[in-house]
Amino acid sequence: MTSMEPATFVVAVEDRSPRGIAAAVARLVRSGDLHAGDRLPTVRDVAARLGVSPATVSGAWQALAAVGMVVSRGRAGTFVLPEPAGWLPPRYRDMAGGPLPAQTRSATAPLVDLSTGTPDPDLLPPLGPALARVSARTPAAETATYVTTPIVPELERLLRESWPFSPGRLTVVDGAVDAIGRALEQVVGFGDRVAVEDPGFPPLYDLLDQLGLERVPVPLDLQGMRPDGLAEALEAGAHAVVLQPRAHNPTGVSLTATRARELAAVLRRHSQRAHESGDEHTRRDARRPVHVIEDDHSGEIASAKDVSLGAYLPERVVHVRSYSKSHGPDLRIAAVGGPVSVIDPLIARRMLGPGWTSRLLQRVLADLLVDGSAVDAVAHARRVYYGRQRALCDALASHGLQVRPGDGINLWLPVLDEATALVRLEAAGIRVAPGTPFLATPPAEGDRGHVRVTVGSLREDVAGVARTLVVAATA
- Sort strands 430-434 and 449-454 into parallel, antiparallel or unpaired: antiparallel
Mean pLDDT of 455-460: 92
- State CA 407 to chain mean position distance: 15
Give dist(CA 152, CA 150) in Å, integer. 7
Judged against a pLDDT cut of 80, whether residue 85 lies above it is answered with no
List, for residues 185-237, the tens digit of each pLDDT value: 999 999 999 999 999 999 999 999 999 999 999 999 999 999 999 999 999 99
More confident residue, 459 or 110: 459
- My answer on whether omega of the bond before 442 falls inside 30° of 0, hence cis, is no
CA distances to 108, 388, 400, 416, 429 from 470, rounded to whole Å, are 21, 17, 8, 10, 14
* Secondary structure class of 198 (helix, strand, coil): strand
List, for residues 228-247, the tens digit of each pLDDT value: 999 999 999 999 999 999 99
Decide if domain 6-83 falls under CATH 1.10.10.10: yes
Judged against a pLDDT cut of 80, whether residue 144 lies above it is answered with no
| Banded pLDDT at 103 (limits 50, 70, 90) | very low
* Secondary structure class of 240 (helix, strand, coil): strand
Q: Which of 69-73, 149-153, 302-306 has the lowest mean pLDDT?
A: 69-73
Q: What is the mean pLDDT of the chain?
A: 89
Mean pLDDT of 406-415: 96
Give dist(CA 290, CA 271) in Å, integer. 8
Q: What is the helix (H) or strand (E) element at residue 318, kind and residue range?
A: strand 317-322
Judged against a pLDDT cut of 60, whether residue 63 lies above it is answered with yes
Model-level pTM? Answer: 0.81
Could you give the percent of the chain with pLDDT greater than 70? Answer: 90
Give the model's pLDDT for residue 279: 58
Give the model's pLDDT for residue 19: 84
More confident residue, 423 or 391: 391
Mean pLDDT of 368-397: 97
- Which CATH superfamily is 112-122+374-474 part of? Aspartate Aminotransferase, domain 1 (3.90.1150.10)
Report, in this order, helix, strand and coil percent for the chain, each rounded to 5. Answer: 50, 15, 35
| Banded pLDDT at 36 (limits 50, 70, 90) | confident
More confident residue, 28 or 276: 28
- Sign of the CA dihedral with 103 first, then 105, 110, and 116 last: negative
Class of domain 141-367: alpha beta
| Banded pLDDT at 102 (limits 50, 70, 90) | very low
Spatial CB neighbours of 427, under 8 Å, sequence gap ≥ 6: 104, 105, 106, 109
Judged against a pLDDT cut of 80, whether residue 108 lies above it is answered with no
Mean pLDDT of 457-464: 93
Give the model's pLDDT for residue 77: 84
DSSP state letter for 201: -
Judged against a pLDDT cut of 60, whether residue 402 lies above it is answered with yes
Give the model's pLDDT for residue 411: 97
Going from N- to C-terminal start, the domains of the chain cover: 6-83, 112-122+374-474, 141-367
More confident residue, 10 or 325: 325
More confident residue, 447 or 2: 447
Give dist(CA 7, CA 254) in Å, integer. 55
- In this structure, how many other beta carbons lie within 10 angstroms of the beta carbon of residue 332? 18
Give dist(CA 284, CA 168) in Å, integer. 26
| Banded pLDDT at 140 (limits 50, 70, 90) | confident
Give the model's pLDDT for residue 187: 97
Give the model's pLDDT for residue 376: 98
